[in-house]
């Protein structure tokens, strides 16, 4: 029998998947894993470097493999990179799993991340790019989610509790 993560977290960059994921894992006495960390460890370079060196589509291919591996191996809480749901095969793998979509609006995104240029997809005119990104992705997050937890104005502890309540 293959293993299945207890909880998968999806949502846009900066929404707090890592922080909430670690809190959730602690509350549940489970391990925490993050596919961005897996990619950095396997590639030996930062994600921004992969984008610059090889472009987004090469990164997506690496990400797709990393996500499939983590989904098959990890039994705890798993956070996916914000763009992982763009891939249809990845979305199919998420079907039937406990997937929490952490959502936030653009104002919350500005507050949390400053929409800083260190994020490769938000380097130019970040507010407009963030809106466009969410327009393209919101329905994909909703498609895979078994629960949606709004993070706006909430602390990581409050979001964690809301996620536990929603499951
Ligand atoms: C991305 C989100 C990032 C990282 C990469 C691309 C995206 O992960 O995978 O920069 O396309 O939204 P986080 O959501 O963990 O920041």
Q: Is the CB of 21 under 6 A from ligand 1?
A: no
Higher pLDDT among residues 123 and 137, named by residue: 137
For the annotated binding site for ATP, the residues are: 14-19, 119, 154
pLDDT higher than threshold 70 for residue 119: no
Distance CA(92)–CA(14), nearest Å, equals 24
pLDDT digits (tens, 9 = 90+) for 28-86: 999 999 999 999 999 999 999 999 999 999 999 999 999 999 999 999 999 999 999 99
Compute how many other C-beta atoms are within 10 angstroms of the C-beta atom of residue 46: 14
- Ligand 1 centroid to residue 117 C-alpha, Å: 13
pLDDT higher than threshold 60 for residue 117: no
Whether the complex's predicted ipTM surpasses the cut of 0.90: yes
Q: Which of 34, 36, 41 to mutate to test ligand 1, by most ligand atoms within 8 A of the CB atom?
A: 36
Q: Whose CA is nearest to atom 4 of ligand 1?
A: 81
For residue 83, give the DSSP letter: T
pLDDT digits (tens, 9 = 90+) for 136-167: 999 999 999 999 999 999 999 999 999 999 98
Q: Band of the pLDDT at 1, cuts 50, 70, 90?
A: very low
Q: Band of the pLDDT at 123, cuts 50, 70, 90?
A: low
User: Which residues does 21 contact at the CB level (< 8 Å), separation at least 6?
Assistant: 9, 32, 34, 77, 78, 79
For the annotated binding site for substrate, the residues are: 36, 60, 82, 137
Q: How far apart are the first and last CA of the chain?
A: 23
Delimit the domains of the chain by residue range. Answer: 7-153
Architecture of domain 7-153: 3-Layer(aba) Sandwich (3.40)
pTM equals 0.93
Residue 122's pLDDT is 65
Residue 108's Cα: distance from chain center in Å?
16
Residue 116's pLDDT is 63
């Amino acid at each position: 029998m293959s293993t299945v993560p207890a909880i998968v977290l999806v949502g846009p960059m900066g929404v707090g998947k890592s922080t909430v994921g670690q809190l959730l894992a602690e509350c549940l006495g489970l391990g925490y894993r993050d596919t961005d960390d897996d990619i950095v460890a396997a590639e030996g370079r930062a994600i921004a470097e992969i984008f610059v060196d090889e472009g987004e589509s090469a990164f997506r291919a690496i990400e797709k493999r990393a996500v499939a591996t983590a989904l098959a191996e990890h039994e705890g809480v798993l956070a996916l990179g914000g763009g992982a749901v763009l891939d249809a095969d990845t979305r199919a793998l998420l079907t039937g799993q406990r997937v929490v979509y952490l959502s936030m609006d653009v104002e919350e995104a500005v507050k949390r991340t400053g929409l800083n240029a260190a994020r490769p997809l938000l380097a130019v005119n970040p507010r407009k790019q963030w809106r466009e990104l969410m327009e393209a992705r919101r329905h994909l997050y909703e498609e895979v989610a078994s629960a949606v937890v709004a993070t706006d104005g909430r602390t990581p502890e409050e979001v964690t509790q809301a996620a536990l309540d929603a499951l």
